[in-house]
Chains A and B, each alone.
Chain A
């Protein structure tokens, strides 16, 4: 079956612009996670969704970052007024309820010039 998909695969933007990154989880997966992978910082948790609610936003690095999930499915991560330090690969993962395995998408590589 289809895995986790993310779009776009690559995004180049100018400093100060807003960007939206999309994640389509595996159908029926109730949990959705966003992570960021950057040089020197490794993989960092950003936000966790259970259904459409986000009980854990503790990893969002600043108020320029926000995310939403609609219909218990697609999620969008929005970065406002992008900065060069936002350059990274943004990864999305989903898992079925009461299971422990997270399935990862291929990621979106964001480059802020």
Chain B
């Protein structure tokens, strides 16, 4: 069955520190991969996505993610975290084709210490 795993339920980092959020997927073929962020009281916002090509993708808010086929991973990174980055982060995957329903990881809650 298709699945997305985010191994870390909760992460705390200090402001200015680097960040890496892990995501692993299990799919029959390489899926499309996404990272979304959900801030308290806010809707889901797309940070970045990967379909093919360059395995390092850049997103909004200074985030990037690297696709590693050999590890079935799509980890999200940011060099220097800001207090406003505190939020819930979701990794998701979909197939190609008309039906792009998203299969989601359970999310990683990020706290940022001043």
Contact = CB atoms under 8 A, between A and B. Distances in A.
A44 B104 CA distance: 7
A102 B100 contact: yes
Nearest to A50: B98
B106 interface: yes
B105 to A, nearest CB: 7
Interface stretch (A15-23, A65-73, A78-86, A104-112): A104-112
Contact of A91 (B42, B44, B45): B44
A45 B46 contact: no
Contact of B90 (A43, A56, A101): A43
A90 interface: no
Interface in B11-42: 32, 42
Given A33-B101, A59-B101, A107-B43, 20 more contacts: A35-B102, A35-B104, A42-B90, A43-B90, A45-B101, A45-B102, A45-B103, A48-B99, A50-B98, A55-B98, A55-B99, A91-B43, A95-B100, A100-B49, A100-B51, A100-B100, A102-B100, A104-B45, A106-B42, A106-B43
Interface of B: 32, 42-46, 49, 51, 90, 92, 94, 98-107
